[in-house]
Amino acid sequence: MAAETEATGGRRETINGLARGLAVIKALGQLGTAGNLTEIAQAAQLHAAVARRCLHTLEDLGYVGRAGRRFFLRPRILELGTAYLDAVDSEALVRDYLSEIVAQSGHSSSLTVLDGHDIVYLAHVGPRRVLRLEASVGTRYPAYPTSMGRALLSGLPDDQIRRYVETAEIRQLTRFTVTDPERLVTSIRRAREDGFSCVEDELAIGVIAIAVPVFDRTGRVVASINCSAQSGETGCEELVSRHLPLLREVAARISSALAHIPGLSDGHRPAGAP
Protein backbone atom coordinates (compact mmCIF):
# COMPACT_ATOMS: atom_id res chain seq x y z
CA MET A 1 0.00 0.00 0.00
CA ALA A 2 0.93 3.66 -0.25
CA ALA A 3 2.44 4.06 3.21
CA GLU A 4 4.62 0.98 2.69
CA THR A 5 5.93 2.03 -0.71
CA GLU A 6 6.07 5.79 -0.27
CA ALA A 7 6.88 6.32 3.41
CA THR A 8 10.59 6.72 2.71
CA GLY A 9 10.16 8.56 -0.58
CA GLY A 10 12.77 6.31 -2.16
CA ARG A 11 15.56 7.74 0.04
CA ARG A 12 18.38 5.53 1.33
CA GLU A 13 19.35 5.02 5.00
CA THR A 14 15.75 5.02 6.19
CA ILE A 15 13.89 2.54 8.41
CA ASN A 16 10.62 1.39 6.92
CA GLY A 17 9.52 -0.21 10.20
CA LEU A 18 9.79 3.10 12.02
CA ALA A 19 7.77 4.84 9.33
CA ARG A 20 5.09 2.18 9.57
CA GLY A 21 4.97 2.42 13.34
CA LEU A 22 4.53 6.17 13.13
CA ALA A 23 1.80 5.67 10.54
CA VAL A 24 -0.03 3.42 13.01
CA ILE A 25 0.27 5.99 15.79
CA LYS A 26 -1.06 8.67 13.47
CA ALA A 27 -3.93 6.41 12.41
CA LEU A 28 -4.92 5.82 16.02
CA GLY A 29 -4.97 9.56 16.60
CA GLN A 30 -7.16 10.08 13.56
CA LEU A 31 -9.62 7.40 14.69
CA GLY A 32 -10.21 9.42 17.86
CA THR A 33 -10.80 6.83 20.59
CA ALA A 34 -10.00 3.25 19.58
CA GLY A 35 -9.94 1.08 16.49
CA ASN A 36 -9.74 -2.54 15.47
CA LEU A 37 -6.98 -3.97 13.30
CA THR A 38 -8.87 -3.50 10.04
CA GLU A 39 -9.71 0.16 10.78
CA ILE A 40 -6.16 0.96 11.84
CA ALA A 41 -4.59 -0.79 8.84
CA GLN A 42 -6.87 1.10 6.47
CA ALA A 43 -6.21 4.46 8.15
CA ALA A 44 -2.45 3.82 8.13
CA GLN A 45 -2.54 2.47 4.55
CA LEU A 46 -0.78 -0.72 5.65
CA HIS A 47 -1.40 -4.40 5.15
CA ALA A 48 -3.16 -5.93 8.16
CA ALA A 49 -0.21 -8.21 9.00
CA VAL A 50 2.18 -5.23 9.05
CA ALA A 51 -0.19 -3.11 11.14
CA ARG A 52 -0.62 -6.00 13.59
CA ARG A 53 3.15 -6.31 14.13
CA CYS A 54 3.41 -2.55 14.66
CA LEU A 55 0.55 -2.59 17.17
CA HIS A 56 2.03 -5.47 19.14
CA THR A 57 5.40 -3.71 19.26
CA LEU A 58 3.85 -0.45 20.41
CA GLU A 59 1.80 -2.36 22.98
CA ASP A 60 4.91 -4.05 24.37
CA LEU A 61 6.57 -0.62 24.64
CA GLY A 62 3.60 0.83 26.53
CA TYR A 63 2.51 3.30 23.87
CA VAL A 64 -0.63 1.42 22.86
CA GLY A 65 -3.24 -0.38 24.95
CA ARG A 66 -5.79 -2.97 23.98
CA ALA A 67 -9.31 -3.84 25.09
CA GLY A 68 -10.54 -6.96 23.35
CA ARG A 69 -9.89 -6.46 19.65
CA ARG A 70 -9.65 -2.68 19.83
CA PHE A 71 -6.43 -0.71 20.26
CA PHE A 72 -5.94 2.79 21.67
CA LEU A 73 -3.12 5.22 22.43
CA ARG A 74 -1.89 5.34 26.02
CA PRO A 75 -0.70 8.54 27.76
CA ARG A 76 2.89 7.30 27.48
CA ILE A 77 2.72 8.38 23.84
CA LEU A 78 3.21 11.92 25.18
CA GLU A 79 6.84 10.99 25.87
CA LEU A 80 7.42 11.16 22.13
CA GLY A 81 6.47 14.84 22.22
CA THR A 82 8.72 15.84 25.13
CA ALA A 83 11.25 17.61 22.93
CA TYR A 84 8.52 19.56 21.21
CA LEU A 85 6.88 20.47 24.52
CA ASP A 86 10.23 21.79 25.70
CA ALA A 87 10.48 23.82 22.52
CA VAL A 88 7.09 25.46 23.05
CA ASP A 89 7.88 26.05 26.76
CA SER A 90 5.13 24.04 28.44
CA GLU A 91 6.05 25.51 31.81
CA ALA A 92 5.19 28.94 30.42
CA LEU A 93 1.80 27.58 29.35
CA VAL A 94 1.18 26.50 32.92
CA ARG A 95 2.28 29.86 34.23
CA ASP A 96 0.07 31.71 31.79
CA TYR A 97 -3.08 29.69 32.48
CA LEU A 98 -3.10 27.96 35.86
CA SER A 99 -1.28 30.80 37.59
CA GLU A 100 -4.06 33.13 36.50
CA ILE A 101 -6.58 30.94 38.31
CA VAL A 102 -4.38 30.89 41.42
CA ALA A 103 -3.85 34.65 41.35
CA GLN A 104 -7.54 35.47 41.03
CA SER A 105 -8.95 32.75 43.29
CA GLY A 106 -6.27 32.37 45.93
CA HIS A 107 -6.57 28.58 45.57
CA SER A 108 -4.45 25.97 43.83
CA SER A 109 -5.12 24.81 40.28
CA SER A 110 -4.16 21.69 38.32
CA LEU A 111 -4.48 20.13 34.88
CA THR A 112 -5.08 16.40 34.53
CA VAL A 113 -5.85 13.72 31.95
CA LEU A 114 -7.49 10.32 32.31
CA ASP A 115 -5.38 7.15 32.35
CA GLY A 116 -7.27 3.93 32.96
CA HIS A 117 -9.36 4.44 36.07
CA ASP A 118 -7.18 7.28 37.37
CA ILE A 119 -6.51 10.92 36.75
CA VAL A 120 -2.89 11.84 36.11
CA TYR A 121 -1.56 15.30 36.91
CA LEU A 122 0.24 17.04 34.09
CA ALA A 123 0.58 20.38 35.88
CA HIS A 124 -0.07 21.97 39.26
CA VAL A 125 0.30 25.50 40.59
CA GLY A 126 -0.03 26.28 44.28
CA PRO A 127 -1.23 29.54 45.79
CA ARG A 128 2.19 30.50 47.13
CA ARG A 129 4.63 29.48 44.42
CA VAL A 130 4.66 28.08 40.90
CA LEU A 131 5.81 24.48 40.88
CA ARG A 132 7.85 23.19 37.99
CA LEU A 133 5.79 21.13 35.58
CA GLU A 134 8.08 18.13 35.98
CA ALA A 135 7.53 18.02 39.76
CA SER A 136 3.83 17.30 39.41
CA VAL A 137 3.77 15.04 36.36
CA GLY A 138 2.59 11.54 37.20
CA THR A 139 0.66 12.15 40.42
CA ARG A 140 -2.35 9.84 40.32
CA TYR A 141 -5.70 9.65 42.08
CA PRO A 142 -8.78 7.55 41.32
CA ALA A 143 -11.10 9.47 39.01
CA TYR A 144 -14.48 8.70 40.58
CA PRO A 145 -14.08 10.74 43.83
CA THR A 146 -12.54 13.83 42.19
CA SER A 147 -14.01 16.81 40.40
CA MET A 148 -11.46 16.58 37.58
CA GLY A 149 -12.13 12.87 37.18
CA ARG A 150 -15.87 13.41 36.84
CA ALA A 151 -15.30 16.29 34.42
CA LEU A 152 -13.14 13.99 32.29
CA LEU A 153 -15.57 11.07 32.51
CA SER A 154 -18.43 13.36 31.50
CA GLY A 155 -16.97 13.46 28.00
CA LEU A 156 -17.57 9.74 27.50
CA PRO A 157 -20.74 8.22 26.03
CA ASP A 158 -23.20 6.79 28.56
CA ASP A 159 -22.22 3.18 27.90
CA GLN A 160 -18.56 3.95 28.54
CA ILE A 161 -19.39 5.84 31.72
CA ARG A 162 -21.26 2.80 32.99
CA ARG A 163 -18.40 0.53 31.93
CA TYR A 164 -16.00 2.70 33.90
CA VAL A 165 -18.15 2.51 37.02
CA GLU A 166 -18.55 -1.25 36.65
CA THR A 167 -14.83 -1.95 36.19
CA ALA A 168 -13.19 0.61 38.50
CA GLU A 169 -12.23 -0.36 42.03
CA ILE A 170 -14.69 1.81 43.96
CA ARG A 171 -13.62 2.19 47.58
CA GLN A 172 -14.95 4.20 50.53
CA LEU A 173 -12.07 6.67 50.92
CA THR A 174 -13.96 8.87 53.38
CA ARG A 175 -17.42 8.71 54.90
CA PHE A 176 -18.56 11.08 52.15
CA THR A 177 -17.21 9.09 49.18
CA VAL A 178 -19.96 8.16 46.75
CA THR A 179 -19.61 4.45 45.99
CA ASP A 180 -23.08 3.55 44.75
CA PRO A 181 -22.78 2.89 40.98
CA GLU A 182 -26.05 4.58 40.08
CA ARG A 183 -25.21 7.69 42.08
CA LEU A 184 -21.80 7.86 40.43
CA VAL A 185 -23.28 7.56 36.95
CA THR A 186 -25.80 10.27 37.84
CA SER A 187 -23.07 12.61 39.16
CA ILE A 188 -20.99 12.16 36.00
CA ARG A 189 -23.98 12.81 33.77
CA ARG A 190 -24.79 15.89 35.85
CA ALA A 191 -21.24 17.12 35.27
CA ARG A 192 -21.85 16.77 31.54
CA GLU A 193 -25.11 18.71 31.72
CA ASP A 194 -23.75 21.44 34.00
CA GLY A 195 -20.37 21.71 32.31
CA PHE A 196 -18.54 21.38 35.62
CA SER A 197 -18.18 19.15 38.67
CA CYS A 198 -17.77 20.06 42.34
CA VAL A 199 -16.67 17.40 44.82
CA GLU A 200 -16.25 17.88 48.55
CA ASP A 201 -14.50 15.58 51.06
CA GLU A 202 -14.80 12.47 48.86
CA LEU A 203 -11.13 11.95 48.03
CA ALA A 204 -9.93 13.17 51.43
CA ILE A 205 -11.50 15.09 54.29
CA GLY A 206 -10.80 18.79 53.93
CA VAL A 207 -10.44 18.79 50.13
CA ILE A 208 -12.98 20.52 47.91
CA ALA A 209 -12.59 21.36 44.24
CA ILE A 210 -14.49 22.52 41.20
CA ALA A 211 -13.38 21.38 37.75
CA VAL A 212 -14.27 21.98 34.11
CA PRO A 213 -13.31 20.03 30.98
CA VAL A 214 -10.78 21.07 28.35
CA PHE A 215 -11.62 20.21 24.74
CA ASP A 216 -9.57 19.44 21.67
CA ARG A 217 -10.26 20.94 18.25
CA THR A 218 -12.94 18.31 17.56
CA GLY A 219 -14.85 19.07 20.75
CA ARG A 220 -13.63 15.97 22.56
CA VAL A 221 -12.82 16.19 26.28
CA VAL A 222 -9.07 15.64 26.60
CA ALA A 223 -8.19 17.20 29.97
CA SER A 224 -9.64 19.05 32.92
CA ILE A 225 -8.56 21.94 35.12
CA ASN A 226 -9.69 22.74 38.63
CA CYS A 227 -9.71 25.19 41.49
CA SER A 228 -9.02 23.36 44.75
CA ALA A 229 -9.47 24.65 48.29
CA GLN A 230 -9.98 23.52 51.88
CA SER A 231 -13.55 22.46 52.51
CA GLY A 232 -13.54 24.04 55.95
CA GLU A 233 -13.02 27.44 54.34
CA THR A 234 -15.54 27.31 51.51
CA GLY A 235 -18.27 25.19 49.92
CA CYS A 236 -19.37 24.13 46.44
CA GLU A 237 -21.94 26.91 46.12
CA GLU A 238 -19.34 29.58 46.86
CA LEU A 239 -16.72 28.01 44.58
CA VAL A 240 -19.21 27.84 41.73
CA SER A 241 -20.49 31.38 42.13
CA ARG A 242 -17.06 32.93 42.57
CA HIS A 243 -14.74 30.89 40.35
CA LEU A 244 -16.70 28.92 37.72
CA PRO A 245 -16.69 31.80 35.17
CA LEU A 246 -12.90 32.14 35.55
CA LEU A 247 -12.35 28.40 35.15
CA ARG A 248 -14.50 28.28 32.03
CA GLU A 249 -12.70 31.25 30.50
CA VAL A 250 -9.27 29.76 31.14
CA ALA A 251 -10.38 26.31 29.93
CA ALA A 252 -11.64 27.88 26.70
CA ARG A 253 -8.28 29.54 26.14
CA ILE A 254 -6.42 26.30 26.83
CA SER A 255 -8.71 24.51 24.40
CA SER A 256 -7.97 27.15 21.79
CA ALA A 257 -4.22 26.81 22.41
CA LEU A 258 -4.39 23.04 22.03
CA ALA A 259 -5.86 23.46 18.57
CA HIS A 260 -2.68 25.25 17.49
CA ILE A 261 -0.16 22.92 19.14
CA PRO A 262 0.23 19.70 17.09
CA GLY A 263 0.33 16.57 19.21
CA LEU A 264 -1.32 17.95 22.33
CA SER A 265 -4.89 17.74 21.10
CA ASP A 266 -4.53 14.36 19.36
CA GLY A 267 -2.34 12.58 21.88
CA HIS A 268 -4.90 11.77 24.55
CA ARG A 269 -7.55 9.12 24.65
CA PRO A 270 -10.22 9.48 27.34
CA ALA A 271 -9.81 6.37 29.44
CA GLY A 272 -12.80 4.15 29.92
CA ALA A 273 -13.39 3.89 26.21
CA PRO A 274 -13.22 0.38 24.83
CATH (domain of 9): 1.10.10.10
Are the C-beta atoms of residues 74 and 83 closer than 8 Å to each other? Answer: no
Least confident of 11-15, 224-228, 229-233: 11-15
Q: Do 248 and 117 share a domain, yes or no?
A: yes
Which residues, listed in sequence order, are joined to residue 65 by a DSSP beta bridge? 72
Whether 85 and 221 map to the same domain: the answer is yes
Do both 101 and 199 map to the same domain? yes
272 assigned to some structural domain: no
Domain that holds residue 130: 79-258
pTM assigned to the model = 0.65
109-124: per-residue pLDDT in tens?
998 888 889 998 888 8
For the chain, what is the mean pLDDT? Answer: 81
Centre a 10 Å sphere on the Cβ of residue 14 and count the other Cβ atoms it contains.
Answer: 12
Q: Of 73, 91, 123, which residue is a domain's last?
A: 73
Segment holding 122, helix H or strand E: strand 118-125
- pLDDT tens digits, residue range 27-85? 887 776 688 999 999 888 999 999 999 998 888 888 898 888 889 888 777 666 555 44
